[in-house]
Structure 1
């Protein structure tokens, strides 16, 4: 089970890293071409590609129609297996991974609580909430019922026009669901806490979010650029930012935001071209992530035809990868616990026939949890080559190898057994 989690998790980390590099390279040219909003939408590539990794594979469906052969079927072309106990390294890696994720999640949670405490007692006024602190806000916080938070001296510090622009800015955040987007990205940071690219991406994501919000406000009020810039300059930057709220902290380069206000709205042709590029990037990235995901990591054990009758408690789905005499084979079988299964393999030159029989039984539950005992006999012709007996965890790959000086009795087998439900 741990191995089944670790492989797709590492693949997801590689996918996130590759896509982050791509986005960081493309976001600035795309913003110059078609504006800040399209650059912010580019970040949708990440969740779409992650979701694509969990979509069912066509190969899996085709395999289910024809490849689950009975265990006693003769398979021509290869050899069978030897197995080693499951390594403890996957358990250690997953434990460290989860501990790091929980630690970062707790840190972000405490940071957000500190941010909320700085707000003090909130006073509602004309649809916004005045904080007790003059150094906190403007901000939008709250997942299901977002509130617009403004500093205590909001009505004294800003002019009427500036107040209207600030409120409109926060309303754009609210309408787009940016608080939820921030929460999801924070969870992505927690999940891949060890990947520095994810933390760089988080900072750039929130900057693009603010630039897109600024662009949306200016698109509605194109004559208010100077007033909007003055409102930014008057804002006291919060010293206690939160990754789970939308606000104007010092991490957002003020100079870049003010310079972005000077850009004119892109033409319709540029927007169409930018959306075409964005659609291609999303499609190619999602498909690549889906295609790179191994079938075994996104799908459950397969049941078809004859196997459906055996799909009861006490049956095992067994996936094998066999190498012998330079030949490879990947048989898949379903066997009932305690019932011997036999596979015969004929070498390509017809000179040697390999036979393997194996029996799967549950391992003692008091000593080995979620494990299976494999009793096996490997024969070449009439000669018994090996009689291994080993224990391996369900869902974990076990390996059996043998090498001889003359290479005549070599075999290399990997086996993964899962309980059929």
Structure 2
């Protein structure tokens, strides 16, 4: 189930993120940097929808592993063991890399904080504490639950009063937007989807959009002189060494510095209604996509659902005498009590040979009880005189395959 959830989410979010990254310039022009930044909130919204589907009891019942039935129980057990071990191995590799990546990120962050040697600065006005640290760092904000602003020791000498106020306002804007929390959440998402390169590019764009959003918020209704001071301070800070931490947010980050300065000149006021429409469209797209995927997933899951009681078909005597192999594709409904009804033959090869045996057997199957009737469940029965190799055969994508290999009684 975890593998399937990851694949569905990475497919859906890759499409959404790609559109967002490719159109970010147009969105910044039309909606403004702050509103464009809010569109990134659609990603945790999508993940929440996906998690709700995982914990849906109906869908959970439907998502069962396909199986292969053979006459030899040892072969049947070995086949299931191979499939299970493959899934466990894939989940183990994914989880190991994800945990290792988060551990590395947190270790880098801890090392960065431990080297700062912070000292409180009480003479600078701010809604959260301000500390000074080494000269070669840029102004930054740290902490999710107890945020604090850290500036270089030469902050007051390096920047004039106007620039100091603008820089502190920028860091406070990060705090008021909750960017320290969103940044941590973005890193967790990145660790979960480490195997998808699109998410690595997305994290970079997300951080850049954070900075553009704070720039726009600080400079709203500011004069061109203030914008020039802001740009000079940004260039000054960007000349310092980059920090090695992933999680802090700092004023003079070098990523996209050219675009940030350019946006100071071409700044446009935020437009509420286009942003609201964009959010509604994004929500509608993700919601509809999740609904469509869940519906398809449920349909596939119903096809793969394992019966709790199964009657094996009897190999027809005449077919055994004539050394005939074949298969039958059936469709049926599962009632709320788990019984099978309305069994139909979709296709069979050869015709008029195995249909009766297959239909009689499937009509007696029992599934787990459910809260609703499940319609159009499909299954395929393979009739073979000799045991096939340990491999699941496919007739159509998503169909459960059952190999019937019973020794016929030939009179």
Do these two structures clear the TM 0.5 threshold for a shared fold by scoring above it? Answer: yes
1:325 equivalent in structure 2: 328
Q: Which runs of 4+ in 1 moved over 4 A?
A: 59-64, 80-84, 296-299, 316-320, 332-335, 341-353, 356-360
User: Within 5 A, what are the aligned runs for 1:361-376?
Assistant: none
Q: Tell me the equivalent position of 1:178.
A: 179
1:72 maps to none
The 5 Å alignment of 1:11-26 reads 11-26=8-23
Q: 1:85 aligns with which of 66, 74, 80?
A: 80
The total of aligned residue pairs comes to 336
Matches within 5 A, 1:197-236: 197-223=198-224, 224-235=226-237, 236=239
CA contact (8 A) 1:130 1:150 kept: yes
Contact conserved, 2:142 with 2:180, CA < 8 A, in 1?
Answer: yes
Partner in structure 2 of residue 286 of structure 1: 287
Aligned match of 2:245: 242
* Local SS of the residue matching 1:189: helix
* 8 Å Cα contact 2:332-2:343 kept in structure 1: no
Counterpart in the other structure of 1:30:
27
Q: Which residue of 2 aligns with 1:165?
A: 166
After superposition, the C-alpha distances for 1:110-130 in whole angstroms (9 at most, x for unaligned) are 211122123223323234433
Which structure has greater helix proportion?
A: 2
The aligned counterpart of 2:371 is none
Matched, 1:53 2:50: yes
For residues 29 and 355 of structure 1, the distance between their equivalents in structure 2, rounded to whole angstroms, comes to: 61
- For residue 40 of structure 2, what is the aligned residue in structure 1? 43
Report how far residue 332 of structure 1 moved. Answer: 6.7
Q: 1:239 to 1:273 in 2, by over 3 A?
A: closer
* Deviation readout 1:265-289 (Å, 9 max, x if unpaired): 2475xx4224313321222123212
Selected match of 1:260 from 245, 259, 263 = 263
Deviation at 1:234, TM superposition (A): 1.8
8 Å CA contact 1:49, 1:290 repeated in 2: no
Q: Using the alignment, how far apart are the partners of 1:106 and 1:174 within structure 2?
A: 24
Deviations 1:387-410 (A, max 9, x none): 9xxxxxxxxx98522489xxxxxx
Q: Using the alignment, how far apart are the partners of 1:63 and 1:130 within structure 2? A: 51
Are the counterparts in 1 of residues 121 and 132 from structure 2 also a CA contact under 8 Å? no
Mind listing any 5+ residue stretches in structure 1 that lack a counterpart?
68-79, 303-315, 336-340, 361-377, 388-396, 405-421
Q: Give the equivalent residue in structure 2 for 1:7.
A: 4
**Deviations for 1:177-211, whole angstroms, at most 9, x for unmatched residues?**
00000000000111111111101000000000000
SS of 2:279 mapped into structure 1: helix
For normalisation by structure 2, the TM-score amounts to 0.69
Deviation at 1:32, TM superposition (A): 1.3
Normalized per residue, the structure richer in strand is 1
Give 3-state SS (helix, strand or coil) of 1:201's partner.
Answer: helix
Following the alignment from structure 1 to structure 2, what is the Cα–Cα distance between the partners of residues 198 and 143?
22
Query: How much does 1:347 deviate?
Result: 4.8
Confirm whether residue 275 of structure 1 aligns to residue 276 of structure 2. Answer: yes
d(CA) in 2 for partners of 1:237, 1:171 = 21
**Secondary structure of 2:265's match?**
coil
Higher relative contact order (CA 8 A, sep 6+): 1
Measured after TM superposition, the shift of residue 296 of structure 1 is: 8.5
- Distance verdict in 2 for CA 1:232–1:327, change over 3 Å: same
Give the TM-score, by structure 1 length.
0.68
Gap runs ≥5 in structure 2: 63-67, 71-75, 313-325, 347-351, 368-380, 388-398, 407-411
CA distance in 2 between partners of 1:48 and 1:319 (Å):
40
C-alpha distance 168-298 of structure 1, shift in aligned 2 (>3 A): farther
Q: Against the structure 1 CA distance between its residues 63 and 217, is the aligned structure 2 distance closer, same or farther, given a 3 Å change threshold?
A: closer
CA distance in 1: counterparts of 2:344 and 2:400, whole angstroms: 23
Match of 1:309 in 2: none
**1:138–1:151 Cα contact (<8 Å) kept:** yes
Q: Secondary structure at the match of 1:239?
A: coil
Q: CA deviation at 1:81?
A: 6.4
